[in-house]
């Protein structure tokens, strides 16, 4: 073989790894374990470059840690329940189950050629009855511990299709299929009590030191702990049983700027008024003609309705405030009612200006008594402001001090109390859909809601369902719902709601530790393998999936399924960026874009043109890969043409892992060429070594070249290892490029070169494992490189004798100094002062300041 042939080499080594069972996770009490996990995929039908990137990064860590002596767990599974399967069934008439399992088979076949070090014996899909049965069992445990309950909540209701819609199925307030305006409708739904853990989930974030700061910040903001005042405004005239309106405010210090009281359209008082008055019912119904998503509600026009009711200001009996119903007030947060202070809240101000409500400053900026116009005065809470006529007797204080003073005042007078509030709501897990884990309870006319008996689990999804009409097939199944009450034995009905798919993904990491156990987890396995040492996935999961998983680990711990030490399941988290690709487009006669596949365009004379017609195309760089834009690169094509190692090498090389990476054909080719070059270099050294061996020590000895290459090898070991440890794989790759250049140019002996290349193959093995095995074997490495111990850099080989110090004059580089690495400050100073450029700048005078940072820089200020 004179050329590296990936089509032959890659399957060969994959077979060798399988034969030796190199990637089987072994529970070995003698060795330290390492659990690396990538967020498991949804089986959409094809793997894409984003998957390749995610799993390659995990594989680098897994292989590196394995070489470093750890017993590694690196599993793979499928997040297999969810809407797309039902949508496919509706569109093509198939069954979600066949669609899903077919997709899994296809994607598994696409992943295997990547040569990932995955323990496939642990694979499962969340739609396997063995998995969701255990999930049902845990649901019953949660129920017993009071971690699940039922309450009413609103959903998006499509009045034409008579079905519940997901937020993404609501487009501009209308159902995606029917086009009918959606309505908010209330249903009784199951909830996890995640909000009981708000404080713990918040404070425990501090311990997650190996999580990105941005994710911890996002979660903290999402949990949204606040301190404020809760108190009631008294209605001047009671309505039915309502004598007042309870409000929560984080800015009680602005109470003297109150303008009106606002309540949610879903507030009990609004409901009461709705029943009495047609105009209010009409307004509330209009407010409900909207999807439930927060973004939609916040972006919608702020609208209000004056109820005509009034309340008394708590500090002034004679001050009456109007009560408005407003569409932007959420029933889920606080008490579902607020008082508005337009002067110090932009949203309140816009509302006040729109409806002609009063605007009165509660405070002013120091030294500026201009009343608020159309821009609310919202200073930082840490900034001092001047309060006017404040009841608590405060004047020039910061916002936060003012809040506390006001709370103390209200508590002292007994009309309000300081409370802590959280934005985090309980987790609604009910879904009115078929393709999910059935909620294992029974509704009995006599006994109410009764848990199914554990020995009857799993409650299996029926196979005989149809998707020809919208709605939940479980609800209209002729027999599935019918059952006997587990408590009294009388005829009863099964719950037809299934679980949110976030439930499935909230504990899969724990199941991987004992995927075939007859209980949700096996305590001994969970104790050994948990926690996940390195979790890798997309930033889009920063809040929901990760927060739900953190809650679930706590709930599982309470029920005895996880040890105390696993209440925080992910020790380290890394969020990787997307894979993007340029979009190529031309315009049709109407000016509409026509998208072209990457393989249909070429570069010509610095322009990007269509191969067929030569017409110039517009290029939109770095766009998210999307089928509709024809800019998707299929990993299988890359693997076929260049091999898995090339795909892996390129996807790691071009961008820092946390940022987006743009897939380019030229970049992939360059990666391929480089791998070929490494192979040729190894092949060449192998031949030379053999010739040298046959002819005796004829190889000309060059001790200084040998020493230089040995030093470079240790430098490479240190730098590449640091890159892997620090999740900077792109810099590891850059160091390996540089090291390849060094080896190629080196005039060291064949023996030393062979040694350098064996080290290189080890350093490359986490990234390009197939090529690494080939090179390792060619140059006499023993056994598999996959099982060889990671090389260690000798610190003595890393020290440099001399360093180059830049000399700056007034912060700009003007000269350089070569000095011994250990030279002291005084020595450097005198050398710097003697420098020609410095002499010139000083023009005989003395420097104002001389800064010497040994080993770093000299700065002369003149």
Residue number, 503 or 772, with CB nearest to RNA? 503
436 preceded by a cis bond (ω within 30 of 0): no
603 counts as binding RNA under rule CB under 7 A? yes
Structure tokens at 322: 């109007």
Mask for 574-593, x = binds RNA (CB under 7 A)? ----x---------------
Candidates 19-27, 108-116, 280-288, 666-674 — which segment interacts with RNA by CB under 7 A? 666-674
| Residue of 12, 26, 353, 813 that binds RNA (CB under 7 A) | 813
Residue number, 16 or 300, with CB nearest to RNA? 300
| Residue of 2, 370, 666, 830 that binds RNA (CB under 7 A) | 666
Structure tokens at 617: 């195309």
Candidates 115-123, 163-171, 245-253, 279-287 — which segment interacts with RNA by CB under 7 A? 163-171
Rounded Cα distance, 156 and 174, in Å: 10
Rounded Cα distance, 191 and 738, in Å: 56
| Residue of 670, 708, 833, 842 that binds RNA (CB under 7 A) | 670
831 counts as binding RNA under rule CB under 7 A? no
Residue number, 224 or 244, with CB nearest to RNA? 224
Residue number, 25 or 775, with CB nearest to RNA? 775
| Residue of 398, 487, 608, 664 that binds RNA (CB under 7 A) | 664
Q: Output the smallest distance, CB 162 to RNA, in A.
A: 14
User: Do 749 and 706 contact (CB within 8 A), yes or no?
Assistant: yes
Residue number, 33 or 715, with CB nearest to RNA? 715
Residues 254-289 as b/e (b if ≥16 CB within 10 A, e otherwise) read: bbbbbbbbbbbbbbbbbeebbeeeeebeebbeebbe
Nearest partner of 529 among 547, 516, 511, 545, judged by Cα: 511
Rounded Cα distance, 223 and 217, in Å: 10
656 counts as binding RNA under rule CB under 7 A? yes
811 counts as binding RNA under rule CB under 7 A? yes
Mask for 38-57, x = binds RNA (CB under 7 A)? ----x---------------
Residue number, 66 or 335, with CB nearest to RNA? 335
To 5 degrees, how large is the angle CA 393–CA 394–CA 395? Answer: 125
Q: Which residues pair with 575 in a beta bridge?
A: 537
Residue number, 5 or 298, with CB nearest to RNA? 298
628 counts as binding RNA under rule CB under 7 A? no
A 10 A CB-CB count for 5 gives 12
| Residue of 189, 254, 646, 762 that binds RNA (CB under 7 A) | 189
347 counts as binding RNA under rule CB under 7 A? yes
Residues 652-676 as b/e (b if ≥16 CB within 10 A, e otherwise) read: bbbbebeeebebbbebbebbbebbb
Rounded Cα distance, 16 and 635, in Å: 23
Q: Output the smallest distance, CB 250 to RNA, in A.
A: 13
Which residues ranging from 202 to 221 are in contact with RNA (CB under 7 A)? 213-214, 217-218, 221
171 counts as binding RNA under rule CB under 7 A? no
Which residues ranging from 349 to 408 are in contact with RNA (CB under 7 A)? none
Candidates 418-426, 457-465, 564-572, 684-692 — which segment interacts with RNA by CB under 7 A? 418-426
Nearest partner of 121 among 79, 73, 80, 81, judged by Cα: 73
3-class secondary-structure state, position 460: coil
Q: Output the smallest distance, CB 47 to RNA, in A.
A: 13
| Residue of 491, 621, 783, 820 that binds RNA (CB under 7 A) | 621
Mask for 731-770, x = binds RNA (CB under 7 A)? x-xx--xx--x--xx-------------------------
Residues 6+ apart with CB under 8 A from 844: none
3-class secondary-structure state, position 209: coil
| Residue of 676, 692, 710, 711 that binds RNA (CB under 7 A) | 676
Residue number, 213 or 389, with CB nearest to RNA? 213
Q: Output the smallest distance, CB 308 to RNA, in A.
A: 28
Match 């040298």 to its residue by tokens.
692
482 counts as binding RNA under rule CB under 7 A? no
728 counts as binding RNA under rule CB under 7 A? yes
Spell out the SS3 assignment of 13-69.
Answer: HHHHHHHHCCCCCCCCCCCCEEEEEECCCCCCCCCCHHHHHHHHHHHHHHHHHHHCC
CA terminus-to-terminus distance, the chain? 66
Q: What is the DSSP string of 398-459?
A: EHHHHHHHHHHHHHHHTSEEEEEE--PPPEE-EE--SSSPBP-EEEETTTEEEEPPGGG---
Candidates 173-181, 406-414, 525-533, 724-732 — which segment interacts with RNA by CB under 7 A? 724-732
Rounded Cα distance, 514 and 561, in Å: 12
3-class secondary-structure state, position 95: coil
| Residue of 196, 662, 710, 829 that binds RNA (CB under 7 A) | 662
Residue number, 14 or 859, with CB nearest to RNA? 859
Which residues ranging from 65 to 104 are in contact with RNA (CB under 7 A)? 79, 81-84
Q: Output the smallest distance, CB 852 to RNA, in A.
A: 9
Which residues ranging from 266 to 295 are in contact with RNA (CB under 7 A)? 292-295
């Amino acid at each position: 073989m004179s050329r590296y042939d990936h089509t032959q080499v890659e399957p060969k080594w994959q077979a060798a790894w399988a034969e030796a069972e190199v990637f089987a996770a072994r529970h070995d009490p003698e060795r330290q374990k390492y659990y690396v996990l990538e967020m498991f995929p949804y089986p959409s039908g094809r793997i894409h470059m984003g998957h390749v990137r995610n799993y390659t990064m995990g594989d680098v860590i897994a292989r590196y840690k394995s070489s470093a002596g750890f017993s590694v767990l690196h599993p793979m599974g499928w997040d297999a329940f969810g809407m797309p399967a039902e949508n496919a069934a509706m569109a093509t008439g198939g069954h979600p189950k066949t669609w899903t399992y077919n997709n899994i088979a296809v994607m598994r076949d696409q992943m295997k050629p990547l040569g990932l070090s995955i323990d496939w014996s642990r694979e499962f899909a969340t739609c396997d009855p063995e998995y969701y049965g255990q999930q049902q069992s845990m649901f019953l445990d949660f129920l017993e511990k009071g971690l699940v309950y039922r309450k009413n909540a609103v959903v998006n209701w499509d009045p034409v299709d008579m079905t519940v819609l997901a937020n993404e199925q609501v487009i501009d307030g209308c159902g995606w299929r029917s086009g009918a305006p959606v309505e908010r409708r209330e249903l009784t739904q199951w909830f996890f009590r995640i909000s009981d853990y708000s404080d713990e989930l918040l404070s425990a974030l501090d311990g997650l030191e190996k999580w990105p700061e941005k994710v911890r910040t996002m979660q903290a903001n999402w949990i949204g702990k606040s301190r404020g005042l809760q108190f009631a405004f008294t209605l001047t005239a009671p309505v039915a049983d309502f004598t007042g309106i309870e409000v929560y405010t984080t800015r009680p210090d602005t109470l003297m700027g109150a303008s009106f009281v606002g309540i949610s359209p879903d507030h009990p008082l609004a409901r009461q008024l709705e029943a009495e008055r047609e105009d209010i019912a009409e307004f509330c119904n209009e407010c409900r003609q909207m999807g439930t998503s927060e973004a939609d509600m916040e972006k919608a026009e702020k609208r209000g309705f004056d109820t005509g009711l009034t309340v008394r200001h708590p500090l002034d009996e004679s001050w009456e405030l109007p009560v408005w119903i407003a569409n932007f007030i959420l029933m889920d947060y606080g008490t579902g009612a607020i008082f508005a202070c337009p002067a110090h809240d932009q949203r309140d101000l816009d509302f006040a200006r729109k409806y002609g409500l009063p605007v009165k400053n509660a405070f002013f900026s120091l030294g500026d008594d201009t009343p608020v116009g159309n821009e609310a005065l919202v200073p930082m809470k840490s900034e001092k402001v001047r309060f006017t006529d404040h009841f608590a007797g405060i004047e020039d204080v910061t916002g936060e001090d003012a809040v506390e003073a006001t709370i103390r005042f209200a508590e002292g007078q007994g009309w309000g109390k300081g409370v802590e509030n959280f934005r985090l709501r309980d987790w609604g897990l009910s879904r009115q859909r078929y393709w999910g884990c059935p909620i294992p309870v029974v509704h009995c006319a006599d006994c109410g809601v009764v848990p199914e008996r554990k020995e009857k689990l799993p409650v299996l999804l029926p196979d005989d369902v149809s998707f020809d009409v919208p709605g939940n097939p479980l609800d209209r199944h002729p027999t599935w719902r019918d059952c006997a009450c587990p408590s009294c034995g009388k005829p009863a009905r099964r719950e037809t709601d299934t679980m949110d798919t976030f439930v499935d993904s909230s504990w899969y990491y724990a199941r991987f530790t004992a995927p075939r156990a007859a209980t949700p987890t096996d305590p001994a396995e969970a104790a050994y393998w948990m926690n996940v040492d390195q979790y890798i996935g997309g930033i889009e999961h920063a809040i929901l999936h990760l927060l739900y998983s953190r809650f679930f680990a706590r709930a599982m711990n309470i029920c005895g399924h996880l040890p105390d030490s696993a209440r925080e399941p992910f020790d380290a988290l890394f969020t990787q960026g997307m894979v993007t690709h340029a979009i190529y487009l031309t315009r049709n006669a109407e000016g509409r874009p026509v998208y072209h596949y990457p393989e249909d365009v070429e570069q010509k004379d610095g322009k990007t043109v269509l191969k067929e017609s030569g017409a110039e195309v517009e290029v939109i760089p770095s766009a998210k890969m999307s089928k509709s834009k024809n800019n998707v690169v299929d990993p299988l094509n890359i693997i076929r043409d260049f091999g898995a190692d090339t795909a892996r090498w390129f996807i790691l090389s071009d961008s820092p892992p946390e940022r987006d990476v743009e897939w380019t054909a030229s970049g992939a080719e360059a990666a391929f060429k480089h791998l070929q070059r490494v192979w040729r270099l190894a092949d060449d050294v192998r031949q030379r070594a053999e010739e040298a061996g046959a002819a005796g020590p004829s190889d000309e000895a060059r001790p200084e070249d040998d020493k230089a290459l040995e030093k470079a090898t240790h430098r490479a070991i240190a730098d590449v290892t640091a890159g892997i440890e620090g999740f900077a794989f792109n810099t590891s790759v850059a160091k390996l490029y540089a090291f390849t250049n060094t080896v190629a140019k080196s005039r060291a002996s064949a023996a030393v070169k062979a040694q350098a290349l064996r080290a290189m193959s080890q350093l490359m093995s986490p990234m390009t494992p197939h090529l690494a095995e080939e090179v390792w074997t060619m140059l006499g490495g023993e056994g598999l490189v996959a099982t060889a111990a990671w090389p260690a850099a000798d610190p003595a080989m890393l020290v440099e004798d001399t360093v180059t110090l830049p000399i700056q004059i007034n912060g700009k580089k003007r000269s350089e100094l070569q000095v011994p690495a250990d030279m002291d400050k005084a020595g450097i100073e005198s050398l710097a002062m003697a420098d020609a450029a410095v002499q010139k700048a000083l023009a005989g005078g003395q420097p104002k300041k001389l800064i010497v940072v040994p080993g770093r820089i000299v700065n002369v200020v003149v």
